[in-house]
Homo-oligomer: A and B are copies of this chain.
Amino acid sequence: MSEYKKESKNTVKRAANRGHYDKKTVHKILDAACVCHLGFVVDGKPFVIPTIYARDENKIYVHGSTKSRMLINMEKGIPVCLTVTHIDGLVLARSAFHHSMNYRSVMVFGNAKPVAEEEKNHALFMISENIIKDRWDEVRVPTEKELKITSILSIEIESASAKIREGDPSDDKADYELDIWAGVIPLKPTAGKAIPDTKLKEGIEVSDSVKKYK
């Protein structure tokens, strides 16, 4: 199936024309970020926590320590909403009312469950690769003890949707005659020059994964 099924919770209601349900679009947006906002419910109240993640086929891995509230609550397997947002620009219209943002976002719905011991190393590898490709091969890999104290959750994507806005502002017809500048200020996350650890051993060059990182 190349589309996520439209059901009540994943159907884009506001600006429905910006909604997308095909897996290709959803996955592309998920794979272009490494921090998501994970929502879950404790005692009827919402919690939203930023966390690193990676997608592996139709599954998402989320990393955290056993101490965190998020994981304590989710170990039992609880419903989550995982949202990823890229801010691509400020959309400056001629009217205050039509100001907007250009963005690509995805909402994923599913149940978060703890990952089995034997799957942890793979999950960490996937998360590491999603953050910075090939870094895993350069560093000391996790020990058994480290894996034991690391909790990872997996979320099978049950339903999902993407929402995308791009391009020019969309003003009321009459407003196009106004002498007001309108357009888009593009925004994107930018990586600066890598800063060596102050405790870095002398003579160690910046590694390939860091050089390649964009």
Contacts and interface: CB of A to CB of B under 8 A. Distances in A.
A76 interface: no
A146 interface: yes
A190 interface: yes
A107 to B, nearest CB: 7
Interface string A114-143: 000000000010001001100110111111
A1 interface: no
Q: Which of A9, A47, A177, A205 has the most CB of B within 10 A?
A: A47
A75 to B, nearest CB: 14
A104 to B, nearest CB: 10
A140 B96 contact: yes
Interface of A: 9, 13-15, 35, 37-42, 44-50, 52, 64-65, 67-69, 79-83, 85, 87, 90, 92-97, 99, 101, 103, 105, 107, 109, 124, 128, 131-132, 135-136, 138-143, 146, 150, 168-169, 175-201, 204-207, 210, 213
Contact of A92 (B48, B64, B132, B199): B132
